[in-house]
Structure 1
Amino acid sequence: MTINRLTKNITLRHLNAFVAVAQEGSFTRAAHRLCQTQSSITGLIQQLETALGTTLLSRTSRRVSLTSIGQEFLPRVIRLLADFDNAVGNVLRFSEQKEGQVKVAAALSAINGLIAPAARSYSQKYPNVRLNICDDSAEKIQNLVAKGEVDFGLTSRWADVYGLECEPLVEDQFGILYRLEDPSIQLNSDHSISLAQLKGQRFVGVTGETGIMAVLSARADLPLEASTPFYEASSTAAQSSMIENGLGIALLPALIAHRVRTPKLGFALLNDVQMLRSLCLITHQDHPLSPAAAGLASEIRQYLKKASLPQGCRTL
């Protein structure tokens, strides 16, 4: 009989019955322990020994003991059953979000404004699920999702990539981040501003692999100095610092602007050009979300339903 065929004839019921009889030294006590009849336990042991082609238990009128082969077999079976119970338990805990890990890559504005508040309530519900959240550019976030290195991403769409699915969650308008002491910035009565009013201004941009620059470079109706900024920063934090020190102004989405604003900086929405950015939950169609990752994504959606977003932002 081949090993594959042999294992099909042996079930967990056979192995549990063998362990119970070996440990109890009695078919009667083993039956009581497993809540079965003595005859069913006897039958299971006979089936197991027939399948293995050997005797595992020595039976006398007074006691039941292990044969030499049974003594060798018992600790292996105990380990196998323990490993099986642990494996099943781990899967159940994972499916119930009692354990696990979620990896997310997102734009920093999405982490601060959406993910972190949602993660706080999620972690209270599932304290044993570890969260690994990193910020990166839109291009790199999409690549991480495409490679399966993170569970999902949350950023603006960078480019169409086969297999990636984008679920828009939030939309925010572009405006101008500027230094409050800059006398050249004159806002309208509704605290908005037009691009025409910014003629001659120097713009501070961020690196080209961000979702912000993807939006700006795609707009043919923008002044050249806005779509190709004179200054460039590696991050929006560095960008705001440059603006605060008088190096220029920046076109930014509202959610980012409200995150990087300082007491020395102001933000005004554009009133003559409609520029919008969508933050999307990015997943891969070939990589289904784990229960824990799906739970965090759901928590983010629930948070957005009740969140108080800055002016210029709205949920989708």
Structure 2
Amino acid sequence: MAITNYRVDDLRALAALHAAGSFVRAAERLHITQSALSRRVSQLEAVVGGRLVQRTTRRVALTSLGLNLIRKTALLLNQLDDAVAEAGRSARGESGRIDVACLTTVAYSMLPPVLDAFRKRYPNVRLHLRDDTGQRVAHAVLAREAEFGIGVLGHPSTELHAEYCVDDPYVIAFRAGHALQRRKRVSWKELQAWRVVALRSTSANRQQIDETLAAEGIASPWFDEVEHLSSMLGLLRGGVGIGVLPHLALQSDAAVDLLSRPLHSPDIVRRIGLFRRRDTSLSQPAATLWDMLREHMAGHG
């Protein structure tokens, strides 16, 4: 189907002429001159290839062709106006939605106080949160499924703009009463003496730890494996071994009765930050949420 080029302003001119019944009143409605109004109607007639307005000495009326065109486009023009108005409200933060991809551990440890403050500034802006693993968070941003992401900063990307916020160190966690409770910190080599629960080798956290330990010539201390952090927390609370996990993972209610100690030699941390596509700009509400998250996370470093 061939595409016909036309101006929306010309359609508005025809609609105003139909509603007002005269060039004078129609021009006043549109805040333009009569000559400008006449020119717009003539341009639309040229595009259509037929007369849209019947001019007589007594009145101005639309032809059957013009009436048919108005009937089919009046609702579309209203919908177009509504869509543009809604986009303006979203841009100003008066309504709309922000799509954010976020690490699950950050979602429950860092987001609540920030969102509480954000709601006071933008009470009508909805949040669509994609809480997931680090790799999927980055994919959501790259695929434009989220305006920005909060996740682990890896190798620099030519497609993403990233801002570092806070370090999230790995710790050893256990139930109260464990022998490690008497220690102030624990080395990675010392973990060989215990049955340590680990995330599966497909986990980005596990891969980071294994690569760092291998570079230091330290054997991995893993005994049991689980798929999700929530499963690990359940095992640890039940006294089934001890587990290595990011410190932020202990900020949820599911870990309220667990203790932890820093791991050292080497110190291994996840670098948490914000990132977005370089070729896009954040909406005003999203930019505000970005700044609030950056400030909050930096304050917990």
Question: Is the contact between residue 148 and residue 287 of structure 1 (CA under 8 Å) also seen in structure 2?
Answer: no
TM-score by length of 1: 0.76
Give 1:25 shift.
1.9
1:139 paired with 2:152, answer no
Deviations 1:152-207 (A, max 9, x none): 3322246676634543211133332122212x22535xx43444655511111112
For residue 187 of structure 1, what is the aligned residue in structure 2? 182
- Larger-gyration structure (1/2): 1
For residue 106 of structure 2, what is the aligned residue in structure 1? 110
Give 1:115 shift.
2.9
1:236 paired with 2:229, answer yes
Q: Quick one: structure 1 residues 258 and 87, their matched pair in 2 at CA, closer, same or farther if it must change by over 3 Å?
A: closer
Which of the numbers 284, 295, 298 marks the counterpart of 1:302? 295
Partner amino acid, structure 2, of 1:296: L
Question: Is the contact between residue 138 and residue 158 of structure 1 (CA under 8 Å) also seen in structure 2?
Answer: no
Which has the higher mean CA deviation after the structures are superposed, 91-100 or 105-114?
91-100
Q: Quick one: structure 1 residues 115 and 69, their matched pair in 2 at CA, closer, same or farther if it must change by over 3 Å?
A: same
Deviations 1:94-129 (A, max 9, x none): 433444433333222111122343233334433443
Partner amino acid, structure 1, of 2:22: S
Give 1:217 shift.
0.5
The residue correspondences of 1:88-107 to structure 2 (distance < 5 A) are 88-107=84-103
1:55 paired with 2:51, answer yes
- Distance in 2, Cα, partners of 1:199 & 1:110: 29
For residue 261 of structure 1, what is the aligned residue in structure 2? 255
TM-score by length of 2: 0.80
Give 1:136 shift.
2.4
Gaps (5+ residues) in structure 1? none
- Distance in 1, Cα, partners of 2:3 & 2:218: 75
- Distance in 1, Cα, partners of 2:135 & 2:3: 51
Give 1:301 shift.
1.5
Which has the higher mean CA deviation after the structures are superposed, 267-276 or 167-176?
267-276
Partner of 1:150, secondary structure, is coil
Question: Is the contact between residue 202 and residue 230 of structure 1 (CA under 8 Å) also seen in structure 2?
Answer: yes
Which of the numbers 73, 96, 101 marks the counterpart of 2:69? 73
Which of the numbers 167, 173, 178 marks the counterpart of 1:171? 167
Aligned residues: 297
- Distance in 1, Cα, partners of 2:226 & 2:47: 72
Q: Quick one: structure 1 residues 74 and 238, their matched pair in 2 at CA, closer, same or farther if it must change by over 3 Å?
A: closer
1:126 paired with 2:122, answer yes
- Distance in 2, Cα, partners of 1:147 & 1:43: 45
1:215 paired with 2:208, answer yes
Partner of 1:218, secondary structure, is helix
The residue correspondences of 1:16-55 to structure 2 (distance < 5 A) are 16-38=12-34, 40-42=36-38, 44-45=40-41, 48-49=44-45, 52=48, 54-55=50-51
- Distance in 1, Cα, partners of 2:289 & 2:59: 57
